[in-house]
Amino acid sequence: MRVEVLASESLGVRSMAVEVEVCGTRILIDPGAALGPKRYGLPPDEVELARLSELRALIRERLRLAGIVIITHYHFDHYTPDWAEDLRGKRVFLKDPARNINRNQARRAGEFLERLSRAGVRWEVAEGRRLRLSGGEIVISGPLWHGPEARFGCVVAVSVREGETTFLHSSDVSGPVREEALEFIFSQRPDILFLDGPSTYLGPRFGLEALEVARRNLLRLIGEISPESLILDHHLLRDLSWSRWAEPLLEAAEGRRVRILSGAEFSGKPLLLLEAERHLRRRAGI
Ligand SMILES: [Fe+2]
């Protein structure tokens, strides 16, 4: 199995775009990338805009090569409405556009489905699907909450197995802070876990208690599953001091041969925390 993180916060944009290759089938999960509209009271700068177009080009190039595309929810850092035509001829799984969804995402999903139908793209509901591949299998979770609050609706997580190796893409489970997300991860026992860490950068706005729950859940995953690679990224990597928050996790991982790393490190690419460093570039006049 080949797993490549194409875009994420550790690579300079908001995204969880991943390419997984199993016996010659390329699977693209979440073909989208975006920038934080306001951080430290500042809009994205030129450095971030340039990186966004570079990574969007990379994701689109891989999208064209993919046989299977999975979109876990309708936030613009996870899908790109303008690329509807690129999905033609592929097996496309979409988070259920009608159920377990908030109003904003239901509207976006409706618009996206219109584009897909104009482009002649067929699609299937992702929730709960199990798909056999030659040499592997894809298992998609049921609806999982996007973080501690219900107002953001639900996402789906994706597990891909080839032989004895399992990769799991959590989508925006923010922690995982909720029990259902944790249960799905336990049921799959991934060797490589690409997890959306919680929004420590929001602090009390995320919920201090929820942050504690997320850390406890991560400790359980490290202790009980001990994945070979635990990739923490997305919301967590919007925080420059994420590793201070993750200290107990790093300690627990050490004794269990679990590598905790960002998407950039996992895929051997330079670490670029562009959103988290936006204020520093402004101060330095870059
Ligand atoms: Fe996201």
Helix (H), strand (E) at residue 22: strand 16-22
Query: Is the separation of the CB atoms in 97 and 178 below 8 Å?
Result: no
Chain mean pLDDT for the chain: 96
Q: Are 33 and 13 in contact (CB under 8 A)?
A: yes
Cβ atoms within 10 Å of 125's Cβ, excluding its own: 15
pLDDT at 77 over 80: yes
**Which tens digits make up the pLDDT trace of 14-55?**
999 999 999 899 999 999 999 999 999 999 999 999 999 999
Closest CA to 159 of 175, 179, 177, 136: 136
Give the Å distance between the CA of 134 and the centre of ligand 1. 30
Distance between Cα 75 and ligand 1 center (Å): 6
- Cα 149 to ligand 1 centroid, rounded to whole Å: 14
For residue range 228-269, list pLDDT tens digits in order.
Answer: 999 999 999 999 999 999 999 999 999 899 999 999 999 999
Half-sphere exposure of 154 (CA within 13 A, CB side): 18
Query: Measured between alpha carbons, how far is residue 252 from residues 235, 260, 265 in Å?
Result: 21, 10, 19
| Token couple for 67 | 């046989």
Q: Does 2-284 carry CATH code 3.40.640.10?
A: no
71 C-alpha to ligand 1 centroid (Å): 11
Ligand 1 centroid to 135 CA: how many Å? Answer: 30
187 alpha carbon – ligand 1 mean position (Å): 23
Distance 28 CA to ligand 1 centre (A): 16
Domain residue ranges of the chain, discontinuous segments joined by +: 2-284
* Sheet hosting strand 158-162, strand order edge to edge: 130-133, 136-140, 158-162, 165-169, 192-196, 229-233, 259-261
Quote the ligand 1 centre to 171 CA distance (angstroms): 7
Task: Enter the tokens of residue 31.
Answer: 């073909």
| Closest to 97 (Cα-Cα) out of 81, 73, 77 | 73
Report how far ligand 1's centroid is from the alpha carbon of 8 (Å): 9
Indicate the burial class of 82 (C-beta count within 10 angstroms; 0-12, 13-18, 19 or more). exposed
132 neighbors 163 (Cβ within 8 angstroms) = no
- Quote the CA–CA distance of 107 and 5 in Å, as a whole number: 29
CA–centroid distance, 20 to ligand 1, in Å, is 19
pLDDT at 152: 87
pLDDT tens track for 142-187: 999 988 877 889 999 999 999 999 999 999 999 898 999 999 999 9
- CA of 53 relative to ligand 1 center, distance in Å: 18
The pLDDT assigned to 63 comes to 98
